[in-house]
């Protein structure tokens, strides 16, 4: 039986945005973003096209059943055993509810299952809330991109999360 997205009793759920009718919902979500956020994330027609293409991109969202709408999205590119996360955004009115953590943790778990060994992202140096979230999910600082951001000019902190896997044991020699 399909889940009723309009039921306020249902918890928010993470969905794959790269299939079905989701790209239209993502386009609406991106158009409703405040202009400064949309500009900051480069959230326009090219990003929607990447969502819809399913080429290298992998995108997920978190649906708020009480509003029957996306509350946040995460996405990036996967190539071989590395991922680069380009976007993690939760609507302003839905922040501080743990949705970003749940969304990113689910996304990283999916990357782990795909065999991704390292996930990279960059974040404004001043974005302490995001950096705390990333640290808490296993990211460490890899480097700094000087004056990477404009308006205002600011350094970008490059972070990486390396997936730790148990070594494969040869049963015959154990």
The residues carrying an active-site annotation are 122, 134
Q: Residue 15 corresponds to which tokens in the numbers above?
A: 């969905």
> DSSP alpha helices (H): ranges in the chain?
22-32, 35-41, 45-53, 99-113, 128-136
DSSP 155: E
Do the beta carbons of residue 93 and residue 39 sit within 8 Å?
no
User: In whole angstroms, what is the distance from residue 20 CA to residue 60 CA?
Assistant: 13
């Amino acid at each position: 039986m399909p889940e009723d997205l309009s039921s306020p009793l249902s918890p928010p759920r993470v969905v794959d945005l790269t299939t079905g009718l989701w790209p239209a919902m993502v386009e609406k979500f991106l158009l409703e973003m405040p202009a400064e956020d949309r500009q900051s994330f480069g959230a326009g027609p090219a990003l929607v096209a990447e969502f819809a293409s399913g080429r290298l991109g992998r995108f997920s969202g978190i649906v708020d059943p009480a509003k029957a709408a996306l509350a946040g999205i995460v996405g990036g590119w996967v190539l071989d055993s590395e991922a680069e996360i380009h976007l993690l955004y939760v609507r302003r009115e839905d922040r501080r509810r743990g949705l970003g953590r749940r969304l990113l943790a689910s996304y990283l778990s999916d990357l782990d299952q795909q065999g991704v060994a390292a996930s990279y992202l960059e974040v404004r140096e001043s974005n302490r809330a995001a950096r705390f979230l990333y640290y808490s999910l296993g990211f460490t600082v890899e480097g700094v991109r000087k004056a990477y951001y404009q308006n205002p000019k600011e350094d970008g902190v490059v972070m990486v999360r390396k997936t730790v896997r148990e070594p494969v044991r040869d049963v015959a020699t154990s």
